[in-house]
Homo-oligomer: A and B are copies of this chain.
Amino acid sequence: MSLLVVGSIALDTVKTPFGERADILGGAASFFSVAASFFAPVRLLGVIGEDFPECHVDLLRSRGIDLRGLERRSGGKTFRWSGSYEGRMDVATTRDVKLNVLGDFKPTVPDAYLDSAFVFLANTDPVTQAHVVRQIPGRKFAMLDTMNLWIDTKRADLVDALRLVDGVVMNDEEARSLGGSSNLIFAMNALSNLGARLIVVKKGEHGAVMLRNGEFFALPAYPLDAVKDPTGAGDTFAAGFMGHLAATGDTSWSNLKRALAYGTVTASFTVEDFSLDRLLAIERADLDRRLAAFVSMVTW
């Protein structure tokens, strides 16, 4: 089934202990759409500026991603993010952000996308997320990502948005913050009580845990002895998760478990190199091989 992603497309400058790269392809929707294209037909809704290199557009097109919702704004500049990672590399330090064309992006879903069955609302203002999801009343499953900025400044709007969708994905600090407890499980139960139907929490090197209808499921991360660049890990985790759901059209609890495993192994490739370099160097069979290896590392 079709999988629509709405979110940012960026030019990133990233510094990690393994090097520094300037103006590389970034943004949640870029990471998500490329990673999800291993699984299902992907539709992209986003905005870029005049300065966005055509080679990146060609790359997205080469992955079979539907770009009818990609707007190139004349006279505008592409969203830019600059960040760095140190030590355990679990937190990015933002050095600079320029919203540029993303600043006033109010996405209108093109007619060609209105029959999208699966919808991923990458991190943005929850008012915008609600605006988008309301345009696709026939969707089968929608999920949103968020960040501390919205938890701190637009909490009520975020709670409204999470009640509109079928699932939310966030990292563990965000879940503890929105759920109001330093105990993650308590916080996830609180999010459930707020109206979230499915809560997926990403914990980086510590794996992921999800909750639906009072049932928990958790997985450790795939063990990696070198993480070159964690940028995009969360977005490609969501892409593996949503991609598997869209590919199978199955949102049962048992298939959500398998989707969490696909999210885990997809993200594990992403962080092995900068930008999308590692994901672009593998094939679907590599994902399935790593999933099989992962199974033997987490089941007994």
Contacts and interface: CB of A to CB of B under 8 A. Distances in A.
Given A215-B297, A218-B223, 20 more contacts: A87-B182, A88-B182, A88-B183, A89-B182, A183-B227, A185-B225, A186-B226, A206-B207, A206-B220, A207-B207, A209-B220, A217-B300, A218-B220, A218-B221, A218-B298, A219-B220, A219-B298, A260-B300, A298-B298, A298-B299
A213 to B, nearest CB: 13
Contacts of A185: 223-225
A183 B220 contact: no
Contacts of A227: 183
Interface of A: 87-89, 182-186, 189, 203, 205-207, 209, 215-221, 223-227, 254, 257-258, 260-261, 297-300
Contacts of A299: 298-299
Nearest to A255: B300
Contact of A220 (B88, B207, B215): B207
Q: How many copies does the complex hold?
A: 2
Contacts of A218: 207, 220-221, 223, 297-298
The 9 closest A-B pairs by CB, nearest first: A257-B300, A218-B220, A206-B206, A186-B225, A185-B225, A88-B182, A185-B223, A216-B223, A87-B182
A257 B224 CA distance: 19
Contacts of A223: 185, 209, 216, 218
Given A189-B225, A206-B203, A207-B220, A300 B261 contact: yes
Contacts of A209: 220, 223
A297 B208 CA distance: 12
Given A207-B206, A207-B220, A220-B209, A183 B300 contact: no
Interface centre among A226, A297, A299, A300 (most CB of B within 10 A): A300
